[in-house]
Amino acid sequence: MKSAFVVMGSALLLGLSVSSGAYAQGAGAGGGRGGFTEQGGEAIFKNVCQGCHMPDAKGAVGAGMYPALAKNPKLEVAGYPVSVVVNGQKAMPALGGMFSDQQVADVVNYIRTHFGNNYKDKVTPADVKATRP
Amino acid sequence: MAEQNFAPMSRRSLFRMIGMAAGSAVMYQAMTDLGYAGESGYTGPTKLSGDVKGASVVVLGAGLAGLTAALELHNAGYKVQVLEYQHKAGGRNISIRGGDTVNELGGFKQQCQFDSGFYVNPGPMRIPYHHIALLDYCKRLNVPLEPFSIINYNAMIHNSKAFGGKAKRYREVETDFRGHISELLAKVTAQGKLDQAVSKEDAEVLLQALRAYGALDRNYEYKKGALVSNHRGYNVDPGGGLSWQPTDSDPMAMSELLQSRLWTGLLTGHEYEYQMTMFQPVGGMDMISAGFVRALPPDMIKYNCKVTEVKQDANGVTVSYVDAQKGGAVQTATANWCVNTIPATILSQVPMQIGAPLKNAINSLSYSAGFKAGVQMKRRWWEDDERIYGGITYTDQPVALISYPSTQFMQTQKGVVLGAYTFGPHAFELTSMSPEERMKVVVDCGAAIHPQYRTEFENGVSVGWHRMPWTLGCFAQWSEANRAKNYDALCAIDGRMVLAGEHASHLGAWQEGAIVSALDAIKRLHQRVVAA
Ligand SMILES: Cc1cc2nc3c(=O)[nH]c(=O)nc-3n(C[C@H](O)[C@H](O)[C@H](O)COP(=O)(O)OP(=O)(O)OC[C@H]3O[C@@H](n4cnc5c(N)ncnc54)[C@H](O)[C@@H]3O)c2cc1C
């Protein structure tokens, strides 16, 4: 219990974003970086999202599953993916603390216009900002 | 002295009084009653006494939480069946050896190429001395332990943007940091600037302490010389005869050291959860789950069962499951009670007849990203060339650290190092890569510190924890706010089911948390059974 604070303290010193109690095993040194540095929707998708949603955005199934982003009608209302990326949902971690408004807008716009999705309206950084808690 | 009698009694002095009056056993009991002794609250082997009236329990998941629950419930006389998704037990208590296949989601498949006898622990790798429940089980289940080296003064701390990318030894960073801050503090003390904070008598002792602690000279300066080399190491070490005249090493300048951020690599081993002595099981972390399986009746665990639904009513629980590989027909298992240790990431996708508080608690959890890689080297160059025997090198690069084997020093030609152990953005990025791309990053980062990586690398295996089909992440991320809101509901018995596991503990991300959460859950469940 107490150590959580100590570890958070050192995480703060390292400039990590302290968004959770995930430092129990994460206390390292120097190796941390607060946020994602990728710019542009494609780069963000390939370096971050495809870890779970897979390179073809078709998701995957094991003991549980990761939903497909490809041809996903839930992406029609742009506010939904923005909210899920920023605030998380169930197994999907809240990534808002590691992305700028621009990065979230870029990756949502990328996903909504690729992988068989074709939604023309664009998300702006201001939309993302309004979604933050 | 007189004042002390009137001061409110601190918990510590209360314990001291109880201890003196009644002996240490009573004191220990008092301490545990007040939630004071032992971080995990474990007070010794679980005894579930009383008539269980032929009750049956189905345990979901055969990680350490499920195995603990199964063993203790079986010992107490319950009829126990365990359903496990994988073809083996242990869950995150896992080791990878040569010949093992690692199947990640998305069809990424790795065949570990390590020589026989070598392994990597891609999940848990170290056990603190105060994780007493886990240590107790290791003792009871005949799982031999050995030290895990957490601090090695001769390992490295590296920042690619400092000292031209050249790594420094832990002992150099540690001594210089200690020396410089001691000198600074001694200076202001001698100048009388601390007069508000320390008495004259204390200031004298403080100066003595700083001189000894910081390896300062008689002018309270931290300076190159024999005294400092005796802490940070030499340029040329002392030797014998005429040929080995020792020469002193050069401390780093304070500003450069501060700006380098290398001091961040000093912290881990001082925190309560990482203090020496730490342990690891001989031969791989999964020796612990193997010990549990040995202690259970054969056939108690049913493997390759993917749980897909949990129903319950006033009499019991019905669990639906399918063959984890082939799918096909839904089968069911019934029992009077259920201990559910399936990770929350998966549980939030399983339809269950449960109340809203538990459902909300499960839905509130996502798991942190984590990445590890094991690398087999053709020779133990970190020992032969660099005299690094165990311990950890830290770096600002994506791999975050290199952990050298804590065992078999100088005994084998080859060896396996942990070439990456990283969280946060780097872990997401490494998880997103194919196994081949990851290994390239691991070797590049390693070579920036140890050029031997280029010639001595033989093969490697990696795990991006969000691609593990049966956890979907490393461990539960609890914010303080979410814990206040949802933790109690997550742990509460819901009808005939209770959750257990790392996520249902205050020791998240530790095996101890999985075990003590299971012990607590079955104790509460057992109370209901005997009271009924
Ligand atoms: C990278 C990493 C590093 C760590 N480092 C350490 C360390 O150094 N020291 C330490 O003590 N701890 C460490 N931990 C934490 C430790 O591994 C966990 O706390 C502990 O092993 C969790 O045990 P568990 O029983 O709660 O869950 P698990 O071990 O995950 O068990 C859950 C079981 O449920 C099964 N399952 C999942 N879905 C289903 C389904 N639908 N149907 C049936 N079965 C299912 C899974 O296959 C699994 O066997 C680390 C963890 C990770 C990931």
- Using an 8 Å Cβ cutoff, are B474 and B367 in contact? yes
Question: Taking CB atoms and an 8 Å limit, are A48 and B367 in contact across chains?
Answer: no
Q: In the prediction, which pLDDT does A26 show?
A: 46
Give the C-alpha distances (Å, rounded to integers) separating B377 from B177, B393, B459. Answer: 33, 17, 7
B235 CB burial (10 A radius; 0-12, 13-18, 19+) = exposed
Residue with tokens 């603990």: B68
Q: A96-119 pLDDT, tens per residue?
A: 999 999 999 999 999 999 999 999
d(CA B481, CA B207): 44
Kindly tell me if the per-residue pLDDT of B29 is higher than 60: no
The residue from B467, B493, B510 where one domain ends is: B467
Asked whether residue B359 falls in the same domain as residue B375, the answer is no
Asked whether residue B410 falls in the same domain as residue B496, the answer is no
B211 in contact with ligand 1, CB cutoff 6 A: no
Residue whose CA is at the smallest distance from ligand 1 atom 18: B511
Q: B142-154 pLDDT, tens per residue?
A: 999 999 999 999 9
Say if B9 falls within a structural domain: yes
d(CA A69, CA B530): 50
- How many of the other CB atoms lie within 10 Å of CB of B23? 10
Say if B266 falls within a structural domain: no
- The residue among A22, A68, A35 whose CA lies nearest residue A49 is A68
Average pLDDT over residues B495-508: 98
Q: How many Å lie between the alpha carbon of B343 and the closest alpha carbon of chain A?
A: 10
Closest chain B CA to residue A13: B264
Asked whether residue B510 falls in the same domain as residue B440, the answer is no
Asked whether residue B21 falls in the same domain as residue B68, the answer is no
Q: In the prediction, which pLDDT does B39 show?
A: 59
Say if B268 falls within a structural domain: no
Q: Would you say the ipTM is above 0.85?
A: yes
Tokens of B145: 């332990």
- The residue among B33, B74, B46, B67 whose CA lies nearest residue B133 is B46
Q: In the prediction, which pLDDT does A8 show?
A: 29
Q: In the prediction, which pLDDT does A51 show?
A: 98
pLDDT band of residue A33 (cuts 50, 70, 90) is low
Q: Could you tell me the CATH number of the domain that includes residue B447?
A: 3.90.660.10
Asked whether residue B357 falls in the same domain as residue B407, the answer is no
Q: B344-379 pLDDT, tens per residue?
A: 999 999 999 999 999 999 999 999 999 999 999 999
Say whether residue B448 is in contact with chain A using an 8 A CB cutoff. Answer: no
Say if B267 falls within a structural domain: no
Kindly tell me if the per-residue pLDDT of B246 is higher than 70: yes
Cα maximum dimension of chain A: 50
Tokens of B18: 């109880």
Is the N-terminal amide bond of B277 cis, ω within 30° of 0?
yes
* Alpha-carbon dihedral angle through residues B282, B283, B285, B289, given to the nearest 10 degrees: -100
Kindly tell me if the per-residue pLDDT of B97 is higher than 70: yes
Q: In the prediction, which pLDDT does B40 show?
A: 76
Could you say which of A21, A29, A62 has the minimum Cβ distance to residue B264?
Answer: A29
B188 CB burial (10 A radius; 0-12, 13-18, 19+) = exposed
Give helix then strand counts, H and E, for chain B. Answer: 18, 23
Could you say which of B399, B431, B480 has the minimum Cβ distance to residue A51?
Answer: B431
Domain that holds residue B142: 96-154+276-282+369-467
Q: In the prediction, which pLDDT does B511 show?
A: 98
- The residue among B148, B119, B100, B149 whose CA lies nearest residue B375 is B119
**Domains, chain A, ordered by start:** 1-34 (no CATH), 38-131 (1.10.760.10)
Q: B33-53 pLDDT, tens per residue?
A: 443 445 578 988 999 999 999
DSSP sequence for A61-104: ESSSEE---TT-GGGSSTHHHHHHHHH-BTTBPP-GGGS-HHHH
Q: B396-426 pLDDT, tens per residue?
A: 999 999 999 999 999 999 999 999 999 999 9
Kindly tell me if the per-residue pLDDT of A10 is higher than 60: no
pLDDT band of residue A94 (cuts 50, 70, 90) is very high
For residues B109-148, one letter each, b for 16 or more C-beta atoms within 10 angstroms of the residue's C-beta and e for the rest, the string is ebebebeeebbbbbbbbbbbeebbbbbebbeebebebeeb
Q: In the prediction, which pLDDT does A81 show?
A: 98
B392 in contact with ligand 1, CB cutoff 6 A: no
Average pLDDT over residues B243-266: 95
Give the C-alpha distances (Å, rounded to integers) separating B510 from A17, A78, B169, B408. Answer: 22, 38, 29, 26
User: How far, in Å, is the centroid of ligand 1 from the Cα of B522?
Assistant: 19
Q: Which of residues 85-114 of A touch B (CB under 8 A)?
A: 88, 90-94, 98
Q: How high does pLDDT run on average in chain B?
A: 93
Say if B385 falls within a structural domain: yes
The residue from B434, B467, B500 where one domain ends is: B467
B466 in contact with ligand 1, CB cutoff 6 A: no
Give the C-alpha distances (Å, rounded to integers) separating B406 from A72, B282, B357, B387, B442. Answer: 49, 10, 45, 13, 20
pLDDT band of residue B323 (cuts 50, 70, 90) is very high
d(CA A132, CA A66): 24
Asked whether residue B498 falls in the same domain as residue B516, the answer is yes
Average pLDDT over residues B171-185: 98
Residue with tokens 């007849």: B353
Run of H or E residues at B258: helix B254-260
Count structural domains, chain B.
4
User: How far, in Å, is the centroid of ligand 1 from the Cα of B91?
Assistant: 5
Asked whether residue B373 falls in the same domain as residue B459, the answer is yes
B125 in contact with ligand 1, CB cutoff 6 A: yes
Asked whether residue B504 falls in the same domain as residue B490, the answer is yes
CB < 8 Å to A10, chain B: 264, 267, 271
Say whether residue A35 is in contact with chain B using an 8 A CB cutoff. Answer: yes
Q: In the prediction, which pLDDT does B244 show?
A: 81
Could you say which of A28, A52, A61 has the minimum Cβ distance to residue B400?
Answer: A28
Q: Could you tell me the CATH number of the domain that includes residue B186?
A: 1.20.1440.240
d(CA B338, CA B180): 58
Asked whether residue B358 falls in the same domain as residue B373, the answer is no
Closest chain A CA to residue B126: A25
Closest chain A CA to residue B324: A63
Asked whether residue B376 falls in the same domain as residue B463, the answer is yes
Among B470, B472, B506, the mutation site with the greatest number of ligand 1 atoms within 8 A of its Cβ is B470
Question: Taking CB atoms and an 8 Å limit, are A51 and B432 in contact across chains?
Answer: yes
Kindly tell me if the per-residue pLDDT of B459 is higher than 60: yes
Asked whether residue B319 falls in the same domain as residue B455, the answer is no
Say if B183 falls within a structural domain: yes
The residue from B467, B493, B521 where one domain ends is: B467
Kindly tell me if the per-residue pLDDT of B113 is higher than 70: yes
Asked whether residue B349 falls in the same domain as residue B203, the answer is no
Among A25, A61, A66, the mutation site with the greatest number of ligand 1 atoms within 8 A of its Cβ is A25
Q: Could you tell me the CATH number of the domain that includes residue B499?
A: 3.50.50.60
